[in-house]
């Protein structure tokens, strides 16, 4: 959770964003993944929230 300075939240948020981007990128680039099952909505949502 948060440390006594309240700084750890920002760090964990950044780590979560990086992890989810890596997962969606690997799914998108996987040739075995059907196009219909690729999480395009998730990717758009991440771009909106990060902007």
Packed helices 8-29 and 40-50: angle between N→C axes, nearest 10 degrees: 150
Q: Is residue 7 predicted with pLDDT exceeding 60? A: no
Q: How confident is the model at residue 23 (pLDDT cuts 50, 70, 90)?
A: low
Specify the pLDDT at position 38: 57
Percent residues over pLDDT 70 in the chain:
0
Average pLDDT value for residue range 28-41: 60
* More confidently predicted of 7 and 49: 49
CA terminus-to-terminus distance, the chain: 24
Domain-wise residue ranges, the chain: 8-50
């Amino acid at each position: 959770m948060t440390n006594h300075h309240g700084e750890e939240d920002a760090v964990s948020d950044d780590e979560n964003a990086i992890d989810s981007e890596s997962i969606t990128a690997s799914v998108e680039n996987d040739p075995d993944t059907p196009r219909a099952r690729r999480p395009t909505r998730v990717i758009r949502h991440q771009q909106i929230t990060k902007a």
